[in-house]
Amino acid sequence: MEEFVTDSLSLPAFETIARNIAKTVRRQDVVALSGDLGAGKTTFSRAFIRTFLPTEGEITSPTFNLVQLYSTPDFDIWHFDLYRLKYAEELTELGLEDALESGVSLIEWPEIAKQVLPNERLEIFIENGKNNDERRLRLHYSNHWKDRIHALFKL
């Protein structure tokens, strides 16, 4: 895994990055989103999903259902929130294997699933920025993501 940390980002800049990453995804991609409560994992996911489904109604947080599925012409986007998941065994029931095999997976609170996630993945840690309403993204990216991240951030 390589690492890149962004500058301090306002909300619009944060959402722009989410959209730009979304534009590069393909089937079988995994984006793991970590950060404290209220860090911005769902905000990132909404902007990401909205890139493919501009006319979709409200994109809700899967806090209680743990997973929300969105269909796009090219793949399904599986939006997981594993905060309330107690046992990793339940990941199959939630559809994680299907998601990994043929969809794009966006995973909030991914820690419980780390054992079963592929090594090829983008990990995003959302951290505090300089000011209250700013965030930084700490990106850990595997080989499959390298060219894309380098192009996006001109590395």
Ligand X SMILES: Nc1ncnc2c1ncn2[C@@H]1O[C@H](COP(=O)(O)OP(=O)(O)OP(=O)(O)O)[C@@H](O)[C@H]1O
The residues of the shown chain that bind ligand X, judged by CB under 6 A, are 9-11, 14, 35, 37-43, 61, 108, 133-135
Distance CA 51, CA 87 (A): 32
Residue placing its CB nearer to ligand X in the complex, 28 or 65: 65
Q: Which does 135 bind (CB under 5 to 8 A by kind): Mg ion, ligand X, none?
A: ligand X
Asked if 42 interacts with Mg ion (CB under 5 A), we say: yes
Q: Which of 17, 18, 35, 41 binds Mg ion (CB under 5 A)?
A: 41
Q: Which does 11 bind (CB under 5 to 8 A by kind): ligand X, Mg ion, none?
A: ligand X
Distance CA 99, CA 81 (A): 14
Asked if 46 interacts with Mg ion (CB under 5 A), we say: no
- The CB-of-46 to Mg ion minimum distance in angstroms stands at 9
Is 69 strand, coil or helix? strand
Check residue 154 and give left, alpha or beta (phi > 0: left; psi -120 to 50: alpha).
left
Distance CA 12, CA 29 (A): 24
